[in-house]
Structure 1
C-alpha cells in the first residue's frame, strides 16, 4: 500500500479501523503462508506480509500524531536562531548529531 494509499487527514477512529483491517489481511496471509508448499509462494507471502506490517506501523504512527498541532513558524524560527546563535556552545555540550549539524552549517564542503 505505502503512503500513497493513505488518506490525508482522518481521525484516529478511521485510522484504527484501517489498522484493524490491515491486521486481518496479515492474519489471512499468515494462514496461507502456513499452508504453502512452494518456496517462491512462501517468499511472495513473506514479502507481502512485511510490506503490510510496515504499512501498519505507519498507520500506528499516524494515530499517535492525529490532533497534534505542528509548530508555528515563529517557534521553529526561534529554535533555529538559538541553534545558530552560539555554535561553540552546541559543539561543547551537544551530542554527536548536533556536532554533525554544526559542521554541516560551518563548512560548505565535506571535511573528509
Structure 2
C-alpha cells in the first residue's frame, strides 16, 4: 500500500513538472515572432501534452485499484471456510499461503 502511495506521489510530482514546462513553453511561444521557434515550441508542447495524458491515465489507474472492505472480507472468509479446497484448486501462491496458515 505504501509503495502505491509513493508511486502515486511520484506521478503527481511528474505531472506538476510537465505542467510547468507546458506553461513556460506556451509563454515563450506567445512572446516569440520567429516561425521556426514557434514550430519547435509547438512540437514540444504537443509532446508534453501527450506525456501529461499518459501520466493522468496512470494516476487514474492507480486510484481505481482500491478494494473495498466487503470484497476483501468475503475473499478472506471464503478462503478460511475451506482451506483444503483452496489447496486443491489454488495456484502456487495460494498453496504457499495455506502452508503458512497451517504450519506457522
What's the TM-score once normalised by structure 1's chain length?
0.50
Paired residue for 1:41, among 12, 32, 37? 37
5+ residue gaps, structure 2: 67-104
As a proportion of its length, which structure holds more helix? 2
Higher gyration radius (CA): 2
For the aligned residues, what is the CA RMSD?
1.8
- Give the distance between the partners of 1:11 and 1:66, measured in 2 at CA: 9
- Give the distance between the partners of 2:12 and 2:59, measured in 1 at CA: 7
Displacement of 1:41 in angstroms is 0.7
Q: Which residue of 2 aligns with 1:32?
A: 28
Paired residue for 2:17, among 16, 21, 24? 21
What's the TM-score once normalised by structure 2's chain length?
0.54
5+ residue gaps, structure 1: 1-8, 70-112
Q: Which residue of 1 aligns with 2:52?
A: 56
Displacement of 1:66 in angstroms is 1.6
| Consecutive aligned runs of 4 or more in structure 1 exceeding 6 Å deviation | none
Displacement of 1:52 in angstroms is 0.2
Number of corresponding residues? 61
